[in-house]
Structures are given as structure tokens and as C-alpha cells.
Amino acid sequence: MTQSRWQRLSEWPLTAAAVIFLVAYTWAVIGDLRGPADRVAETVITATWVMFALDYLANLTLAPRRWKWFYTHVFDLLIVALPLFRPLRLLRLVTLLAVLQRTAGAAFRGRVVIYVAGAAALLVFVAALAVLDTERAAPDPTITNFGDALWWAFVTVTTVGYGDFAPVTTQGRLIAGALMLGGVALLGVVTATLASWIVERVSQQEEDEQAATRGEIRALGEQLAQLQHTLNQRSNTAELSVNDH
């Protein structure tokens, strides 16, 4: 089996695993699970990690140039190698962002709203989960419930930062930095897409105007040719009349 075939076959199973992981992680964090329920959630989360680990090993094994694939896919390694840090498990949800981007397809500008809205909602939601998971057990936390975490994520991703809630742990601040970078990146996507759309519309308008001008010039040329033909006919008729006399 080739690597490309494996990637096509594993794409949707990995996407399903990412969704299942998100559900289990959400349940574990918001529910603040203890006992058997927590063990069930952890088992599901571990199972999804196993799927991503197997996918990484399969891609590394099937890659034509393994060393090159290894150092160009360090992020894939991080997704597998950081399962012990609970918030960093959310790196697996990059799979969902990749699917959203492919959904946009070639007609990216026409579907940019789907991509940006989906990516922004996912980014805010998982950042809220991650920061709550990290901050809740810290000494003197300011973020102690999911509502506060979600509000913090909204104001952080938009770089507003009211300051009413703020992470107090190093890991929480790293999450905040990543969230701000993600917000800036999404804003860049929107800005670039809008600029591309404006340039395309201006170019289209110029092409339409040029086409109209060419049409007018063509029509004028046809009128001149018709006028020339009429003048030639009259000149020939006049010459024939003079010769008859």
C-alpha cells in the first residue's frame, strides 16, 4: 500500500476519532468527572490517541523518504507524543481544521464563511476547555467554570482582553498566546480573502468595460465599412451614368 492511499483511507476515520475525542474531553472537563465516569472518558481518549499513533507510524513506514517525512511532519509527532498534557491533546483537533479547509475546496472565497466560522468556533471552544482544565486546580484561579472560560476565550481570540479573567498558570498563558495567534491567523484569512474578492471584482469590471469598448469599436468599424460600401456603390453608379451619356 502506498502512503497516499493510506492517507485517503484513514482521513475520515481520523476525523471521526477527533470528534469522539472532543466529545469525551468535553465531558471530562465540563463534568469534572471522578471515579468510573472519569475512567470511561480516559479510556475513550486513550483509544483515540492509539489511532493517531498508529496513523503516524503507518505514514512513517510507508513514506518513500522516511527521514524527510519525519522532519517535515514534526507537528504530527507532537500530536502523538504529548498525550500526558491534557490540554495539549487538543492538538488532535487540527485534523478537523484540515477537513474544514478541504471543504472550502477550490471555491475558497465562496465558502470562506464556512471555513472561518467553523475554525473560529472550534478554536474558541477548545481553548475554553483547555484553559479550564489547566486553571481550575491552580491556586487562586480566576477561571473556575466553563462559562467564564468561554467568555475568556472570546475576548482573547479577538485580542480585546478585558482582564476580568486571566490564566494564572504558565500552561494557561501558553494557551492564551496560542489562542491569540490563532485569532490573528483567522483574521488574516478573512482579510486576504476579502482583498482577493475585491481585486477579482475590480478586474472583472475592467474586463467588462474593455469588452464593451471593444464591442463599440467593432460596431463603429462595421458602420464605417458599411458607409464605405455605400459610397463605393454610389461612386460606381455615378461613373456608369456618366459613361452612358
pLDDT at 10: 81
The answer to whether 78 and 94 have CB atoms below 8 angstroms apart is: no
Dihedral Cα 123, 125, 128, 133, nearest 10 deg = -110
Predicted pLDDT at 82: 64
- The pLDDT of residue 84: 45
Give the pLDDT confidence score for residue 40 in this predicted structure. Answer: 92
Low-confidence spans in the chain with pLDDT less than 50:
84-86, 104-107
pLDDT at residue 127, as a whole number? 87
Phi, psi of 115 (to 5 degrees): -65, -50
Supply the pLDDT for residue 149.
92
**How confident is the model at residue 234, as a pLDDT?**
67
- Domains in the chain: boundaries: 1-93, 105-240
Q: What was the pLDDT predicted at 17?
A: 82
Best CATH choice for the domain 105-240 from the list 3.40.50.1010, 3.10.520.10, 3.40.50.11540, 1.10.287.70: 1.10.287.70
